[in-house]
Amino acid sequence: MVNKQKILIYMSGGVDSSVAAALLLKDGYDVTGAFMVDYDDPERPGSCWHSDYEDALRVCAKLGIKLLRLDFRKEYKKLVLDYMYKEYEAGRTPNPDVLCNKYIKFGVWLDKAKELGFDLVATGHYARLERETPNPKSQFPNKSKLSKSKIKLLQAKDKNKDQTYFLHQLTQKQLQSTVFPLGKYTKPEVRKLAQKFNLPTAEKEESMGICFIGEVPMKEFLQKKIKSKKGKIINSAGEILGEHDGLAFYTIGERGLKLGKGTTGRPYFVVSKNIKDNELVVGHEDDPMLYKKEIQIGEINWISGQPPKFPLKCKVRLRHRQELQNCVISNKNNKIFVNFSKPERAPTPGQFAVFFLKGECLGGGVIV
């Protein structure tokens, strides 16, 4: 049976989106690929995306589908990069991948797809959607039921690859038009499918860099935009141990600080940032300042569209691939707090706390 729905699959040039496109074709969709240019290195134009674009072209040629190339550099700069620089300058540590999904992939990209006449969009994310329809487990929805269905964002079959952490800021409206073909597969199974479909990207290695920018060290990337503001490195007792390059370039929990002679020989970790006095506070792995029993979060998105009843016992993840931790979410004077069952290491302001219950991603918010 041929599915007449028009779907735009976001092609990154990697194996995941390649297989996702092949699966959509197999399911009978009218599939078009799209490669999005969101960032360009001003010193080396095209260097961070051209090879991926060529891979996407080869995959689409193999599958016999059209590939659009669209430019969203202005939107990416305004909605992701500028926000990211501002957060780092304020001493926080934002997550550009979460922002990119919220504002770019399922924001301006989705708007463009609708403008071009597509019914749905798809990506190579490892996540599942459950729609409250007569066939709730379907990954490929029937258009006539979309507007009536309530959608749950569920963890992928492959818990190691699960990417719901990065998708937790999405809304019902965004998910209504979205398909995640890889949610019911593991990464090894996706590799086998790529070989079965004889895709040019079957053996391509994964990229683990910044969203659309590539595998460049974060400090090196930030130093091109943020001025160095040196200050003292101190321990929790206030003793001066060295000098830092600027609070923007350090993350809570970071290891490997070079503090020179006279230290204990044990590795130091960033345990806090004193923004007011421009001081970087460090300590050892067992420093109490590195661990928190409670945090406050803001800018919260509940995927259902409605906040849950508080207090809520659930699971929380403070960073991608962290093992899920038990917590209780409570509302105190219209402020949301998260209490952990045991102290959590290095909750980082600017990062996200994401909540789960029985395999469902409920949403999350920014750590204050």
The lowest-confidence range among 48-52, 231-235, 272-276, 353-357 is: 48-52
In terms of residue numbers, what domain contains 272? 227-286
Measuring CA to CA, which residue among 214, 213, 272 is closest to residue 247? Answer: 272
Q: What is the CATH number of the domain that holds 156?
A: 3.40.50.620
Average pLDDT, stretch 57-84?
96
Q: Is residue 125 in a domain?
A: yes
**Identity of the amino acid at 197:** F
Same domain, 267 and 303: no
What backbone torsions phi and psi does residue 61 show, to the nearest 5 degrees? -65, -40
List the structure tokens of 24: 């959509």
Q: What is the pTM of this model?
A: 0.90
**Number of folded domains in the chain?**
3
CA 350 to each of CA 86, 120, 269, 273: distance values in angstroms, whole numbers, following the listed order: 11, 31, 18, 13
**Model pLDDT for residues 148-193, shown as the tens digit of each residue:** 579 999 999 999 999 999 999 999 999 999 999 999 999 999 999 9
CATH code, 237:
2.30.30.280
Residue 345 sits in a domain whose CATH number is 2.40.30.10
In whole angstroms, give the CA distance from residue 189 to residue 259: 46
| Shared-domain flag, residues 169 and 279 | no
Q: Which of the residues are catalytic?
A: 100, 211
The verdict on 185 and 274 lying in the same domain is: no
In a domain, 222, yes or no: no
* 32 lies in the same domain as 161: yes
Same domain, yes or no: 136 and 24: yes
Q: Is residue 105 part of a domain?
A: yes
Same domain, 327 and 349: yes
250 within a domain of the structure (yes/no) = yes
Average pLDDT over the chain reads 91
Judge if 100 and 178 occupy the same domain: yes
| Cβ pair 174, 110 in contact under 8 A | yes
Domain boundary among 244, 269, 286: 286
The reply to whether 231 falls in a domain is yes
What pLDDT does 5 receive?
A: 94
| In a shared domain, residues 182 and 47 | yes
* In a shared domain, residues 91 and 158: yes
145 and 239 inside one domain: no
Region 240-250: what's the mean pLDDT?
A: 93
**Same domain, yes or no: 126 and 34:** yes
Q: Quick one: 303 and 233 in the same domain?
A: no
